[in-house]
Amino acid sequence: MTTPDQEDEKRSIRPSGLFRLARFLLLACLFLITLVCIAAGLLDIAGSNRLATAQKAAVDRGLALSMADLFAGLPDIPDSENAALIYLDAFAMFDAVGTNPESPYVPLVSRHLESYKPEDKKLAEAKETYDQMGRDARTPLLDYMLEGSIVYVANRAEVLDLLHQAASLDKSRYPLDWQGFQTPLPHLSKARASARLLGVAAYVDVEEGRPADAASRVHDSLALARSLQGEPMLISSLVEMAMVSITVSNLQRVVSRTDLSDDDLLSLQDDFRRTLATFSCRPGFEGEFANLLDFYDGLISGRMSLATVRSLGSGSVTSPPDQPHLAERMLTIPLRGYLRADEAMAVRYYLRIFDNIDNPSPEYLTSPDPVLDEIDNSKFLLCRMLVPAVSRAVMQAELARARLRAVIAGLAALRHYKDHGSWPDSLETLVPVYLDSVPIDPFTAKPLIYVIKDDGIIIYGVGANAIDDGEGYYAEPPEGTERKGDDVGFRIWK
């Protein structure tokens, strides 16, 4: 039996034991926090060193490390010399009159001829004709298709006049109010719609027997595509490539259904040479790179919410909240070293792109990328999300380059045909009178493939799979089947 004094002693011991336990737990927490801080500090130092090395390599290559620096380095273009300002007037006028055709039978612009097979017999006939035009550019428009195209073009004559006026200027820069990751680029969709309008106008010129006017539409379409060159947005480069593809398709129809003069052929060939000489997706990648570094800087500095990461699945960065929560700011601190190392890895990949972007070897284009493989197997989450979104853009650019080279060679062959009454035996035959040199396929470093057919010629490259998919690739596949392969080139029907 305990005495009152012993009970008092026990009560005095208990708080002392709890105090010691609490003090132990507090010291343990402080120790763990200290270890975490030391580890985070060491990771931050290591990540900072890796990032500094990568960024120095970028600066040595003349790359801007932020969008602000990139825009500050762009040269000024006087308004009187800026074609983009005239294009914007044309786009506004186009919006006012409407981009949708008054008739459902207008090629290139009517969604009825693109999206589904209609039940209406007249529309079905028009769609079948439109599909046949893709298989053979000599296919004439049906009368009611031509009538609808004439109305479409006539109602937009002022737009076409402005597009032609802008094409006479060599410099172009669309005004861009840079606002971060969701900066709108409305001129891109308007430019594509205008390229289709020019295509319809060329179709009408062809059908009504005005080959010189049709050639002029092709010139205007090329100039419109070139107006996007130099924009520090990768999407602008991709849209330019799409517009070049539209222009090439229209040219196939112009040269296959008309008899262009020698002067027009030479002028078109020179214009495509100019487009090829200035073609590069480097400015787009430079903007993509600077934008990426701004993104990482926003995360590392705590100015950007970590919730932004949720939107990276498609490779597209959405506009972040202006003020991240305090908890997010605190969480960012121990992650800084990791984020800097992640950024350094992304910079490494972009540097590999810049080292190969101007003249990539076939091995670079067709072989697995070692840095991309390293990223795929790494612990760097953001890099793994962002980099694949741009990994195919260089390949797309080289496909466009191969297409341009094929067009230039095709126009040279057509000039030879007009002079001699027959197609050249080979592309080598065209040098040096019609071509400066034999065009090379970027994916093989070998000459483009040249095929003489009973109804014309085909000049093409093998594409990214580096496999010759055969000349039949250039005919539209039978209905209900898919085109296989990725050859790219130019075909003339005569």
Per-residue pLDDT of the chain (494 residues), as tens digits, is: 555 555 555 555 455 667 776 666 666 676 566 655 555 565 667 778 899 999 999 999 999 999 999 999 988 999 999 999 999 999 999 999 999 999 999 999 999 887 767 678 899 999 999 989 988 999 999 999 999 999 999 999 999 999 999 999 999 999 887 766 556 688 999 999 999 999 999 999 999 999 999 999 999 999 999 999 999 989 999 999 999 999 999 999 999 999 999 999 999 999 999 999 999 999 999 999 998 999 898 888 877 766 665 554 444 444 444 555 555 555 666 678 888 999 999 999 999 999 999 889 999 999 999 999 999 998 888 888 888 878 889 999 999 999 999 999 999 999 999 999 999 999 999 999 999 999 999 999 999 999 999 999 999 999 888 888 776 555 555 555 565 678 899 999 98
Quick check: is 182 in a domain?
Answer: no
Quick check: is 483 in a domain?
Answer: yes
Of the candidates 394, 405, 408, the one whose C-alpha atom is nearest the C-alpha of residue 464 is 394
- CB atoms < 10 A from the CB of 473, how many? 19
Quick check: is 433 in a domain?
Answer: yes
* pTM over the 0.75 mark: yes
Note whether 384 and 376 are within 8 A (CB).
Answer: yes
Note whether 350 and 289 are within 8 A (CB).
Answer: yes
Rg (Cα) of the chain, in Å, rounded? 30
Q: At what angle do helices 157-167 and 83-97 cross, to 10 degrees?
A: 170
Quick check: is 171 in a domain?
Answer: no
CA 473 to chain centre: 24
Of the candidates 424, 422, 427, the one whose C-alpha atom is nearest the C-alpha of residue 437 is 427
User: What pLDDT, on a 0 to 100 scale, did the predictor assign at position 79?
Assistant: 95
User: What pLDDT, on a 0 to 100 scale, did the predictor assign at position 482?
Assistant: 60
As beta bridge partners, residue 82 has 171
Quick check: is 426 in a domain?
Answer: yes
CA–CA distance, 309 with 342 (Å, rounded to integer):
13
Quick check: is 492 in a domain?
Answer: yes
Q: Which residues contact 11 (CB under 8 A, 6 or more apart)?
A: none
User: What pLDDT, on a 0 to 100 scale, did the predictor assign at position 321?
Assistant: 44
Buried b (16+ CB within 10 A) or exposed e, 349-386: bbbbbbeebeebebebbbeebebbeebeeeebebbbbb
CA–CA distance, 358 with 282 (Å, rounded to integer):
8
User: What pLDDT, on a 0 to 100 scale, did the predictor assign at position 316?
Assistant: 42
User: What pLDDT, on a 0 to 100 scale, did the predictor assign at position 324?
Assistant: 56
Note whether 369 and 356 are within 8 A (CB).
Answer: no
> Total domain count for the chain?
1
Which residue has tokens 């007009």? 418
CA–CA distance, 112 with 145 (Å, rounded to integer):
12
CA–CA distance, 154 with 204 (Å, rounded to integer):
10
Quick check: is 217 in a domain?
Answer: no
Note whether 285 and 234 are within 8 A (CB).
Answer: yes
Structural domain boundaries, residue 460: 421-494
Quick check: is 486 in a domain?
Answer: yes
